[in-house]
């Protein structure tokens, strides 16, 4: 849920009414003009009722979505779900939510209202325990919908809001006198009690008194009394507040306001300078001016400051941009900037700057989507889409977004001319995404088209890369030779980053197909030499390669060290795809060490991660996965295996990481911190028994059983029964 950064004022009656409606209906839509406080009310109510939804609350902000087809993608992103071959995003979400009791908050639906209505209707029809709380400027018109118009703040709450926000800026500006109260009453009444308008007015308290604000605003409201033809009355009053804020800006600030409206979400100073076509030495002063006038909102992620327009102000800026005749030019510069950004990220990927580059791409993901969408509107600019969705491919993979990237490239390839200069590479990268998602046939069709394009030697190396990956994944002969040839070709052209994955393919293939461990370790050493100590993505991949080779043909302890270090890098980098591979490998290692309960738990953890990225381990790591999971199941028996597997699958990410990284060399068991009776209770908890069932099994009272459970949680430092079950599995 979005954090509440300022105090919450008023809305007690509306909050109570929304809570009541959520108890009676499965779809409640909060309607009203922009800036009236629909989102803030929804966030507060969702927090209040969260305990009624064991499956959690999912907040999906749609303000940055311009394509209705992406509504389900946003919800899937918020759930941590990613594409699965042949399964549309809406089906992925429905399948995930069907058995769960969840509150889904869809915020800012109005610009994709048709898509939201269709998605919501499907969700309600197929997920019997899901409730939807939507905010929109118009209702969704879905059967069973309960619509609650959100009114402006009452007079007293409006004044409270103004006082609160103004006091944060200039505490001494509002003396508590009868005259000042009358001025505030007048001011807030003329603002129609709209929170956004009130906050914009309060932001001027640094330079104007309440009376001066009221006088100035009165002039503006009189000037804009009619508003735009056909606009609703409340939108006119909000427009008055925004027009007034616009009037305070210099001509250059007004231009930057309009031009920054092309950004989806936030942006930084460098992006603003390029997209707004403003010299770098001037953009800071202009952005500072817009911040001072509360047009832009400042946010800081780590050591990076970014800016955004509130949605109402962004829409206003877009209107001004359209009126200026600059919309196409500015939108083109936006796409050009993010084309350049991805090129720079790819060029610097294999370096100590990798984590910073990744964080930047993640912050700009909404802008990448906007640039991709815009570039697909005309064949003249389709090259932008062919490039952005293909680079750096590692970004799309480690974020678990291979399915989305493949979708963008598929659309771009359909639009691009057969001889487009970016077509060959895009075909090969799309083939790699397709392989990561488990579709060998689709990948082979794409690479065949690329191979037929021309005799460019770099394109030939890219084709070989795909073919070697296909051969490895399908256990075909020749994969090691193809990978070695690919790596050599990239090396010849100085393409270090492109050489790394073929080296990994070669190492695994030459070990598993040819039993040549010396060659395998040689390829992995070459990877480490190329990456250095500070790079993380390919260093983790090389460690994974070492673990994969050692667990089958060498030293299990070395495999454990390598896989554990790889997982640590994945966690630091946020690599969802790598995490799935490493967790599965740790399960193989535990099986080989005879720690079968631990192996089953790790297989369960890995299964949840494979599902998240839309890949099946039976395809991605078929031979070792199949061997070790079968061996683990045979050693434990079906019942014990399924119990430990389910415990792992249910773990939250941080708990799962702690479990997976707690890798010990096989050693005599340490004394248990639990008493004999507590160990009995823990075992029954792990078997899924309730407190009452445990009491009956041990011939004790339910209260005594519950006391034992609380003692166990306290001694082990746990917070829930699932952690006890995982601990029991680890002890076994």
3-class secondary structure for 574-643?
CCHHHHHHHHHHHHHHHHHCCCHHHHHHHHHHHHHHHHHHCCCHHHHCHHHHHHHHHHHHHHHCHHHHHH
Query: Domain holding 701: CATH number?
Result: 1.10.10.10
Residue 217's pLDDT is what? 62
How would you class 478 by CB atoms within 10 Å of its CB: exposed for 0-12, middle for 13-18, buried for 19 or more?
middle
Is 379 domain-assigned?
Answer: yes
In the block, tokens 């461990």 appear at 517
Are 569 and 657 part of one and the same domain? yes
What pLDDT does residue 231 have? 34
| Number of independent structural domains in the chain | 6
| Residue 69 CB contacts under 8 Å (≥ 6 apart), including other chains | 115
> Which residue pairs from 85-88 have beta carbons closer than 8 angstroms and sit at least 24 positions apart in sequence?
85/403, 85/437, 85/438, 85/439, 85/614, 87/614
Does residue 728 have a pLDDT over 60?
A: yes
Report the alpha-carbon distance of residue 203 to residue 221 in Å, rounded: 18
392 and 282 in a single domain? The answer is no
> Which has the closest alpha carbon to 79: 62, 61, 59?
59
Q: pLDDT value at position 219?
A: 42
* Separation between Cα atoms, residue 157 and residue 9, nearest integer Å: 7
Is 79 a member of any domain? yes
> Does some domain include residue 349?
yes
Q: Is the pLDDT of residue 692 over 70?
A: yes
If you write DSSP's letter for every residue of 220-245 in order, what string do you get? HHHHTSS-STT--HHHHHHHHHHHHH
Chain-centre distance for alpha carbon 590: 31
Total-model pTM: 0.72
Domain-ending residue, one of 219, 245, 271: 245
Neighbours of 164 (CB within 10 A): 16
> Is 576 in the same domain as 563?
yes
pLDDT grade, residue 2 (50/70/90)? confident
Check pLDDT > 60 for residue 193.
yes
Q: Which residue has tokens 């109260």?
A: 181
Query: Is 221 found in the same domain as 100?
Result: no
Residue 517 lies in a domain: no
Element holding 131 (H helix, E strand): strand 130-136
Using CA of residue 327, residue 329, residue 330, residue 336, what is the dihedral sign? Answer: positive
Q: Are 192 and 238 in the same domain?
A: yes
Residue 180: CA count within 13 A, CB half-sphere: 12
Residues 346 and 303 in one domain: no
- Rounded to an integer, what distance in angstroms lies between the CA atom of residue 185 and that of residue 505? 72
Q: What is the mean pLDDT of the chain?
A: 87
CATH number at residue 360: 1.25.40.10
Distance CA 625, CA 649 (A): 16
Say whether pLDDT at 237 is over 70.
Answer: no
pLDDT at residue number 617: 86
Indicate whether 94 and 42 sit together in one domain.
yes
In this model, does residue 723 exceed pLDDT 60? Answer: yes
Tokens of 422: 């970016």
pLDDT at 601 over 70: yes
Task: Give the pLDDT of residue 387.
Answer: 97
Q: Greater confidence, 144 or 714?
A: 144
pLDDT band at 146 (very low <50, low <70, confident <90, very high): very high
Contact between 416 and 422 (Cβ < 8 Å)? yes
CA 701 from chain center: how many Å? Answer: 46
pLDDT confidence band for 685 (50 / 70 / 90): confident
Instruction: Using the predicted structure, report yes or no on whether residue 141 has a pLDDT greater than 50.
Output: yes
Q: Are residues 23 and 42 in the same domain?
A: yes
pLDDT tens profile 124-138: 999 999 999 999 878
Cα separation of 256 and 20, whole Å? Answer: 44
- 357-402: pLDDT as tens digits: 999 999 999 999 999 999 998 878 999 999 999 999 999 999 989 9
Confidence at residue 671, expressed as pLDDT on a 0 to 100 scale = 57
Peptide bond into 120 cis (omega under 30): no
Reported as a pLDDT band with limits 50, 70 and 90, residue 241 is low
Residue 75 lies in a domain: yes
Q: What is the dihedral of CA 588, 589, 593, 594, to 10 degrees?
A: -30
Beta bridge partners of 558: none
In a domain, 508, yes or no: no
Residue 314 has phi, psi (to 5 degrees) of -65, -45
Please compute the mean of the pLDDT values over residues 83-94 and round it to a whole number: 82
Q: Where are the beta strands (DSSP E) in 385-534?
A: none
Q: How many residues are listed for the chain in this entry?
A: 732
Classify residue 514: in a domain, yes or no.
no
Is residue 546's pLDDT more than 90? yes
Residue that finishes a domain, picked among 98, 123, 149: 149
pLDDT of 672: 65
- Convert the pLDDT of each residue in 452-500 to its tens digit: 998 899 999 999 999 999 999 988 888 999 999 999 999 999 999 999 9
* Same domain flag for 21 and 137: yes
**Which residue among 215, 245, 275 closes a domain?**
245
Cβ contact 433:396 at 8 Å: yes
318-348 pLDDT tens trace: 989 999 999 999 999 999 999 999 999 999 9
Q: pLDDT tens across 90-115, in order?
A: 999 999 999 999 999 999 888 888 99
The CATH number given to whatever domain includes residue 130 is 3.40.50.300
Model pLDDT for residues 637-679, shown as the tens digit of each residue: 999 999 999 999 988 888 899 999 974 433 434 556 788 788 8
Query: Which pLDDT does position 238 carry in this prediction?
Result: 61
Sign of the dihedral through C-alpha 147, 152, 156, 158: positive
User: According to the model, what pLDDT value does residue 154 have?
Assistant: 87
Residues 68 and 53 in one domain: yes
415's CB contacts (< 8 A; 6+ apart) are 376, 379, 382, 385
Task: Give 289-316 as a DSSP string.
Answer: HHHHTTSEEEEEETTEEEEEE-HHHHHH
Same domain, 283 and 173: no
Per-residue model confidence (pLDDT) at position 228 = 31
Q: Which comes out higher in pLDDT, residue 297 or 51? A: 51
Domain that holds residue 128: 12-149
The answer to whether residues 579 and 594 touch, using CB atoms and an 8 Å cutoff, is no
Which comes out higher in pLDDT, residue 172 or 57?
Answer: 57
- Run of H or E residues at 130: strand 130-136
pLDDT band at 81 (very low <50, low <70, confident <90, very high): confident
Query: Does 700 map to a domain?
Result: yes
Same domain, yes or no: 321 and 343: no
User: CB neighbours of 639 closer than 8 A, spacing ≥ 6?
Assistant: none
């Amino acid at each position: 849920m979005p954090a509440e950064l300022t105090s919450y004022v008023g809305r007690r009656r509306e909050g109570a009414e929304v809570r009541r409606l959520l108890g009676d209906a499965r779809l409640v839509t909060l309607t009203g003009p922009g800036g009236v406080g629909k989102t803030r009310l929804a966030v507060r109510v969702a927090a209040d009722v969260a305990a009624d939804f064991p499956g959690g609350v999912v907040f999906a902000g749609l303000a940055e979505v311009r394509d209705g087809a992406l509504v389900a993608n946003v919800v899937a992103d918020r759930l941590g779900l990613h594409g699965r071959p042949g399964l549309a995003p809406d089906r992925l979400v429905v399948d995930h939510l069907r058995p769960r009791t969840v509150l889904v908050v869809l915020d800012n639906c109005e610009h994709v209202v048709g898509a939201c209505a269709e998605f919501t209707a499907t969700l309600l029809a197929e997920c019997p325990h899901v409730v939807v709380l939507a905010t929109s400027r118009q209702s969704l018109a879905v059967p069973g919908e309960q619509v609650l118009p959100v009114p402006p703040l009452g007079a007293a709450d409006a004044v409270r809001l103004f006082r609160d926000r103004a006091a944060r800026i200039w505490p001494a500006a509002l003396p508590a006198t009868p005259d000042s109260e009358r001025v505030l009453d007048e001011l807030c009444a003329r603002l129609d009690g709209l929170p956004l308008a009130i906050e914009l007015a309060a932001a001027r308290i640094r330079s104007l008194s309440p009376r001066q604000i009221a006088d100035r605003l009165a002039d503006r409201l009189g000037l804009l009394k009619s508003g735009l033809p056909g606009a609703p009355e409340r939108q006119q009053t909000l427009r008055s507040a925004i027009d007034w804020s616009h009037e305070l800006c210099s001509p250059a600030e007004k231009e930057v306001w309009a031009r920054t409206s092309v950004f989806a979400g936030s942006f930084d100073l460098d992006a603003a300078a390029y997209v707004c076509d403003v010299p770098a030495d001037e953009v800071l002063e202009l952005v500072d001016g817009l911040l001072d006038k509360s047009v832009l909102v400042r946010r800081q992620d780590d050591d990076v400051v970014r800016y955004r327009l509130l949605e109402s102000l962004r829409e206003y800026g877009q209107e001004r941009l359209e009126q200026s005749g600059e919309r196409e030019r500015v939108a083109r510069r936006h796409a050009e900037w993010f084309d350049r950004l991805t090129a720079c990220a790819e060029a610097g990927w294999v370096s100590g700057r990798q984590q910073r580059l990744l964080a930047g791409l993640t912050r700009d993901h909404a802008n990448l989507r906007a640039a991709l969408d815009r570039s697909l509107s005309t064949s003249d600019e389709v090259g932008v889409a062919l490039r952005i969705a293909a680079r750096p491919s590692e970004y799309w993979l480690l974020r678990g977004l291979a399915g989305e990237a493949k979708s963008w490239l598929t659309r771009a390839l359909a639009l691009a001319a057969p001889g487009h200069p970016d077509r060959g590479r895009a075909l090969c990268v799309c083939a790699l995404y397709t392989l990561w998602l488990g579709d060998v046939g689709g990948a082979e069709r794409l690479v065949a088209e690329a191979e037929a394009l021309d005799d460019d030697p770099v394109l030939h190396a890219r084709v070989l890369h795909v073919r070697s990956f296909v051969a490895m994944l399908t256990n075909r002969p020749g994969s090691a030779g193809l990978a070695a040839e690919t790596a050599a070709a990239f090396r010849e052209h100085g393409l270090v980053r492109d050489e790394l994955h073929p080296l990994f393919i070669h190492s695994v293939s030459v070990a598993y197909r040819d039993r040549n461990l010396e060659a395998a370790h040689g390829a992995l050493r070459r990877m480490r030499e190329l990456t250095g100590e500070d790079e993380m993505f390919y260093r983790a991949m090389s460690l994974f390669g070492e673990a994969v080779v050692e667990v089958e043909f060498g030293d299990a302890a070395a495999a454990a060290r390598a896989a554990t270090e790889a997982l640590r890098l994945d966690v630091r980098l946020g690599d969802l795809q790598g995490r799935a591979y490493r967790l599965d490998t740790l399960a193989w290692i535990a099986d080989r060490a005879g720690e079968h309960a631990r192996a089953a738990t790790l297989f369960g953890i890995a299964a949840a991660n494979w599902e998240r990225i839309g890949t099946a381990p039976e395809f991605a790591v078929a031979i070792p996965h199949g061997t070790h999971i079968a061996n683990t199941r045979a050693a434990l028996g079906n019942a014990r295996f399924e119990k430990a597997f389910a415990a792992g699958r249910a773990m939250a990410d941080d708990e799962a990481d702690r479990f997976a990284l707690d890798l010990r060399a096989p050693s005599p068991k340490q004394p248990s911190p639990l008493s004999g009776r507590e160990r009995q209770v823990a075992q029954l908890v792990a078997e899924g028994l309730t407190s009452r069932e445990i009491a009956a099994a041990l011939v004790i009272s339910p209260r005594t059983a519950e006391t034992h459970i609380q003692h166990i949680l306290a001694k082990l430092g746990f917070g829930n029964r699932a952690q006890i079950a995982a601990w029991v599995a680890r002890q076994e």
